[in-house]
Structure 1
């Protein structure tokens, strides 16, 4: 991946060759500025690589039209962000319902599915709470429930524990791992948090745009 920055060519990613197995929890680690989020954005179809191709679920997304790619993402990928990205004026259950509505699930079915998803992340007692009344860990659980809406096969997470303390971060990721393994979903997670390595099936280390063997310190 090459960017133009003020007339200068910046190569953000170099010779990336990556395969993630179905049902795996894959961590992408590395220092700030190493290209982790750029790589995740390419794999999610949010950025188009300068050269090369991306295949998800047997389809080459780099050749898809924008409208087809948008439909593919909506159906097959759930996103989790470090800042939670919840709607502050909506309750926990309404935040999940919004994602279901976007996937064509409406009315009572959406309400029941949202309630079920929040139950899966141990928030049955917080469905009517506003984000401001939830802890950081609880907000991230709502975000996970929202990412699971519509049963996408791929979950992509960008620094999902960055805003959480050690205990909450590990608990949230362990929960995500269990939910993903129970349903055979694949999780690709960008993180610089070494505390969650033990939940991963595979760990890759990105430095200066290159995939490397993880250093022993990590």
Structure 2
């Protein structure tokens, strides 16, 4: 079984007296170690599908398996633990804490995973070195460029060695050169660590870094 598997996933949201079907019978299997892009026009349901596959939303129907475990049947507490230890998230707005340094933004994730004090600081420094920001460890997000902030966000997502990375429009706030550089870096680090990456994007400039591309349109998945 793949690292991320969706079987017959559907999602409907109430809209007045009716319901609006966003996802219609989605079947998807992402192999371990692959970089999978999920593309499609705005409003096609990409972020909804990512949220379901990450265990942040419960689908109206269907099942989701992550690393061989069915997450659609898990209790909230068990699912929260599973996400904490197995999934790293990258958001389009970076979602860094403005009052914390680059290093502290990573340390806080390590702290939640039970890694603290000097060990957390040391691991954060290593991750920042990996993304080429070893000299920016004590800078706050306000002092960093968009590309640098996204590199910190990637380092934070990789903290604690998660097996899955879920990224929602990670290049949206970046120019084309920074965007491609950052995603190429993510690809390289993910491949080295054996991570599986699912990335929602409408950015055609990063298609060449993916192993596979799937297109979502009107709630229906079309393979590449």
TM-score category by the smaller chain?
over 0.9
Q: Displacement of 1:119 after TM fit?
A: 0.5
Counterpart of 1:135 in structure 2 is 145
Aligned partner (choices 61, 70, 76) of residue 51 of structure 1: 61
Q: Displacement of 1:183 after TM fit?
A: 1.1
Counterpart of 2:3 in structure 1 is none
Aligned partner (choices 169, 181, 206) of residue 196 of structure 1: 206
Please give the alpha-carbon distance, in whole angstroms, between the structure 2 residues aligned to 1:98 and 1:112: 13
Counterpart of 1:154 in structure 2 is 164
Greater strand share, structure number:
2
Please give the alpha-carbon distance, in whole angstroms, between the structure 2 residues aligned to 1:172 and 1:7: 44
Q: 1:121-170 CA distances to partner (integer Å, 9 max, x unpaired)?
A: 00001110010000000000000000001100000000000000000000
Counterpart of 2:173 in structure 1 is 163
Count of residue correspondences: 214
Q: 1:93-115 CA distances to partner (integer Å, 9 max, x unpaired)?
A: 00000100010000000000000
| Large movers: runs of 4+ above 2 Å | none
Counterpart of 2:76 in structure 1 is 66
Counterpart of 1:37 in structure 2 is 47
Scaled by the length of structure 1, the TM-score of the pair is 0.97
The runs of 5 or more residues in structure 2 that have no matched partner are 1-10
Look up the SS of the partner of 1:85 in the other structure.
Answer: coil
Look up the SS of the partner of 1:15 in the other structure.
Answer: strand
Please give the alpha-carbon distance, in whole angstroms, between the structure 2 residues aligned to 1:203 and 1:213: 7
Counterpart of 2:98 in structure 1 is 88
The runs of 5 or more residues in structure 1 that have no matched partner are none
Aligned residues: CA RMSD: 0.6
Counterpart of 2:107 in structure 1 is 97
Please give the alpha-carbon distance, in whole angstroms, between the structure 2 residues aligned to 1:114 and 1:184: 19
Please give the alpha-carbon distance, in whole angstroms, between the structure 2 residues aligned to 1:117 and 1:22: 22
Scaled by the length of structure 2, the TM-score of the pair is 0.95
